[in-house]
Amino acid sequence: MKIYHFDLGNSTKGPIGFCADVRAKSKAEAVKILRSHIETMEDGLNADECSPDEIEYCNVYFNAGAVSEANIDDERDA
């Protein structure tokens, strides 16, 4: 087993940064595990849904000042 560190996004440059340490036997397995856990968080981030045996930690960092109109990808009437 190894712990693989994921660094996705950058809250210094963009609105969201994301880091996670995943315990797995290989890089491919680590990707599979993290993807699976992200899919379970579609309705929001809930640290309780992470398996302590697989996910060492999972942090999301926010930079509200970096949010802009460029981040809007859809518009509809209310």
pLDDT in tens, 21-60: 898 999 989 999 888 877 776 666 555 555 667 878 777 8
- Rg of the chain over all Cα atoms, to the nearest angstrom: 15
In degrees rounded to 5, what are phi and psi of residue 18? -145, 130
Q: Are 47 and 54 in contact (CB under 8 A)?
A: no
Q: Are 37 and 49 in contact (CB under 8 A)?
A: yes
Q: What stretch of H or E contains 6?
A: strand 2-9
pTM over 0.85: no
